[in-house]
A = this chain, B = another copy of it.
Amino acid sequence: MAETAPRPTLEAVAARAGVSRATVSRVVNGGDGVREPLVERVRKAVEELGYVPNQAARSLVTRRHDAIAVVVAEPETRVFADPFFALQLRGISKELTAHDNQLVLLLTEGRDDHARVGRYLAGGHVDGALVFSLHLDDPLPELIQRAGVPTVFGGRPGWSGDRRGVVYVDVDNRGGARDAVRHFVGLGRSRIAHITGALDQTSAVDRLDGYRDVMVDGDPQLIVESDFTPAGGERAMRELLARCPDLDAVFAANDLTAAGAMRVLREAGRRVPEDVAVVGFDDMLPVAEQTEPSLTTIRQDIEEMGRLMARLLLRALERNAADQGITAAPSSVVLPTTLVRRASA
């Protein structure tokens, strides 16, 4: 914890290299328009003094921070329980790092935190924001829109407000769900049940919609609402077995739910996949590979989602910088899913 090593300034480097501050600045920022011998001298001086630019001073004049905020709503327990969160962050981090941007992490819990985040973003500490806010009633998107900070959302925001200029990255929940159900159909199953996720999240709604796309005129008894948790999956499965003992397939809204459901099926003496086939969603490895039998599921590339979010945001920022440029404003992206076939269906 050695303190007070007085960091060298531009001035110091300039003196040592025998040039002006301006020239050092030019070299440090790419060296365009400075002749080679000078560049060399300045580089040497920078090296010798161990000069590192003072970011605060630079930001003060450029009004850029090379930092973006990642906002994660804590009630988003799903995000927290899963490796999701880590993977998305990893994708984001990689992309940001590649463009010399810093990642400022903002975790929220509760309403007052929303205000805090709003203030922070409005405070112009960061150049943009990546926001995970999958709840239908979340006030965050609106707060952020008001803050006027370029933003990309993770997951389609279920949000009734002004949609213009809202950019998000999502996975094809609906298409993935259709694939799952069609897979059952291909296996010759007909009494296909669905255990939904928490329906205040767009992902759960979309997956349900996908299920319905295939099961047109399906038996509504085959749909049970749940909450993305294993315990919820157990409860839902019990109810399903009571309501529709003849079911022969279950599409669970995520892998955790599927794991819970499979446990109940086993207890009830139903064999998986012989009696009842099961498909999950997410391909959350520690879960999907550990279940007995291993879980057939819909994979989404979480890390890529993070990376893409970052990329879109950075592009938007560039565009802003380039004076409302010629480039098109980035628009939302929906990533594809793939069915990963294992033992459960």
| A residues whose Cβ falls under 8 Å from a Cβ of B | 1-3, 5, 7, 50, 52-57, 59-60, 65, 67, 70, 74, 80-83, 85-87, 89-90, 93-94, 97, 102-107, 113, 116, 119-120, 122-125, 148-151, 165, 230, 256, 259, 263, 286-287, 289-290, 292, 316, 320
Distance to closest chain B CB from A62 (angstroms):
9
Contact among B89, B150, B256 for A107, CB-based, below 8 A: B89
**Residues of chain B contacted by A124 (CB below 8 angstroms):** 7, 52, 54-55
Counting every copy of the chain, the complex holds 2
A-B contacts, 20 of them at CB < 8 A, read A1-B148, A3-B320, A52-B122, A55-B123, A55-B124, A56-B59, A70-B105, A80-B83, A80-B86, A80-B90, A82-B83, A85-B86, A93-B106, A97-B107, A97-B113, A102-B125, A103-B106, A104-B105, A286-B286, A287-B290
**Residues of chain B contacted by A85 (CB below 8 angstroms):** 85-86
Contact among B55, B103, B125 for A125, CB-based, below 8 A: B55
Q: Is the CB of A90 within 8 A of B107?
A: yes
Q: What is the bound-complex CA distance between A107 and B89, given in angstroms?
A: 9
Q: Is the CB of B3 within 8 A of A148?
A: yes
Contact among B50, B119, B123, B286 for A256, CB-based, below 8 A: B286
Q: Is the CB of A93 within 8 A of B81?
A: no
Q: Is the CB of B52 within 8 A of A60?
A: no
Given A104-B105, A286-B286; 9 other pairs, CB 8 A cutoff:
A1-B149, A50-B122, A56-B65, A80-B83, A82-B83, A83-B83, A85-B85, A102-B125, A287-B290
Q: Is the CB of A290 within 8 A of B290?
A: yes
**Residues of chain B contacted by A1 (CB below 8 angstroms):** 148-151, 165, 316, 320
Q: What is the bound-complex CA distance between A315 and B155, given in angstroms?
A: 38
Q: What is the bound-complex CA distance between A115 and B342, given in angstroms?
A: 42
**Residues of chain B contacted by A65 (CB below 8 angstroms):** 56
Contact among B54, B86, B148 for A60, CB-based, below 8 A: B54
Q: What is the bound-complex CA distance between A289 and B165, given in angstroms?
A: 44
**Residues of chain B contacted by A125 (CB below 8 angstroms):** 55, 102
**Residues of chain B contacted by A94 (CB below 8 angstroms):** 107
Q: Is the CB of B93 within 8 A of A107?
A: yes
Q: What is the bound-complex CA distance between A1 and B331, given in angstroms?
A: 13
Distance to closest chain B CB from A30 (angstroms):
17
Distance to closest chain B CB from A319 (angstroms):
9
**Residues of chain B contacted by A103 (CB below 8 angstroms):** 104-107
Distance to closest chain B CB from A136 (angstroms):
23
Nearest B residue (CB) for A3: B320
Q: Is the CB of A290 within 8 A of B259?
A: yes
Nearest B residue (CB) for A93: B107
A86, A113, A287 pick with most chain B CB within 10 angstroms: A86
Nearest B residue (CB) for A324: B3
Nearest B residue (CB) for A107: B93
Q: What is the bound-complex CA distance between A82 and B3, given in angstroms?
A: 36
Q: What is the bound-complex CA distance between A59 and B125, given in angstroms?
A: 12
